[in-house]
Amino acid sequence: MFLVMGITGNVGGATARHLLAQGKKVRALVRDREKAVNWANQGVELVDGDWNDSAAIERALKGVEGAFVMLPPVWAPSPDYKEAKSVIANYLEALTKAAPPRVVALSSMGANKASGHGVITALSLLEQGFRDLISPIAFMRAGGFFENFLFGLQVAQGGTLPVFYNPTNRKSTMVATNDIGAEVATLLTGPAWSGQRIVEIGSMVTADEVAEQLGEVLNLDVKAFAIPRAGWAEGLEQFGIPKGHSGPAEEMYEAVNAGWMDLGVEGTEHVTGTTSARDVFAAAQKAMTA
């Protein structure tokens, strides 16, 4: 039995799919059983609760062979990142009381930095907080998700994909959530290890390449367009970030564009993604028309 946190999201869902494909039993902590009914129908054991309840996390951890944990994404965090700190504290309490044989935690490129990376700060705090866990742990430092470009299936009909990457021909670390889930499942079910591992996952891709692959799926000539820096706040608000709270997200993209949140940190392992942006766009388009 393996615990998968965030099963109704992209990475948790991908992890669960790969574990189930291996014939493994999966358990999930869910706040809303209605949203997880499809997982229950696939044999996933549902435990009521969420990341704000350490006792529920502890219940979900009981007797598992391994656990995948992650922070809920918060794009407009408090200045002191109290949201992340609270969830990390709950995890630590539960993982100490019911220590599983192994833990895989979703992190991000740039989490090795102490500051200057905006919303990635939450994942730096996660890595710091988990360092002294009893259980062997692997931090999965992922690149930017190809799924973050899925809005392009609607907005790129005019031939333009607006992005926060500048210049658009600069390579940055990107990955499909399917590949993250596959590697998490491999770590959870593969050979045991001791201590701490850090696994980078992703490939070096440009926004221009993403736009080109989107165009192949849409049968259009699509070009990436770098949103001017002065328009970032407005652009991020269109993605749902409250007005006046886009600073941490802006800081993250500034760090990405500066080039110091890429692959190759000393002492890390590396896994290259095999799912392309084209694959992600095609699968999403197929799901929309099914």
What are the CA-CA distances from residue 175 to residues 66, 183, 202, 267 (Å)?
24, 12, 5, 20
pLDDT computed for residue 199 by the predictor: 97
- Ramachandran angles phi, psi of 267, nearest 5°: 85, 5
Number of domains in the chain: 1
String of DSSP letters for 72-90: PP-SS--TT-HHHHHHHHH
Query: pLDDT value at position 234?
Result: 92
Q: Which range marks the domain in which residue 141 is found?
A: 2-289
Q: Residue-wise pLDDT tens for the chain (290 aa)?
A: 999 999 999 999 999 999 999 999 999 999 988 899 999 999 999 999 999 999 999 999 999 999 999 999 989 999 999 999 999 999 999 999 999 999 999 999 999 988 888 999 999 999 999 998 999 999 999 999 999 999 988 887 789 999 999 999 999 999 999 999 999 999 999 999 999 999 999 999 999 999 999 999 999 999 999 999 999 999 999 888 999 899 999 999 999 998 877 777 888 999 999 999 999 999 999 888 76
pLDDT for position 267: 87
Q: What are phi and psi of 111, to 5 degrees?
A: -70, -15
pTM: 0.95
- State whether residue 140 is helix, strand or coil: strand
Say which residue the tokens 């699509």 belong to: 222
Q: Quote the strand ranges of the chain, DSSP E.
A: 2-4, 26-30, 45-48, 66-69, 103-108, 137-142, 144-145, 160-163, 172-175, 196-201, 203-205, 223-226, 269-271
pLDDT at 262: 72
Q: Please report how many Cα atoms fall inside a 13 Å half-sphere around the Cα of residue 136, on the Cβ side.
A: 12
Contacts of 1 (CB under 8 A, 6+ apart): 24, 25, 26, 27, 45, 63, 64, 65
Q: Distance between CA atoms of 153 and 280, rounded to whole angstroms?
A: 11
The pLDDT of residue 63: 95
Q: Is the dihedral of CA 151, 153, 158, 159 positive or negative?
A: positive
What local confidence, expressed as pLDDT, does residue 48 receive?
A: 93
Whole-angstrom distance, CA of residue 190 vs CA of residue 185: 8
Ramachandran quadrant class, 110 (left: phi over 0; alpha: psi -120 to 50; beta: rest): left
What is the rounded distance in angstroms from the CA atom of residue 50 to the CA atom of residue 94? 12
CATH code of residue 115:
3.40.50.720
pLDDT score of 174? 95
Q: Which residue has the tokens 């470009």?
A: 149
Of 74, 91, 72, the closest CA to residue 129 belongs to 91
In order of 14, 45, 281, the CA distances from 17 in angstroms are 5, 14, 19
- Position 289 scores a pLDDT of 79
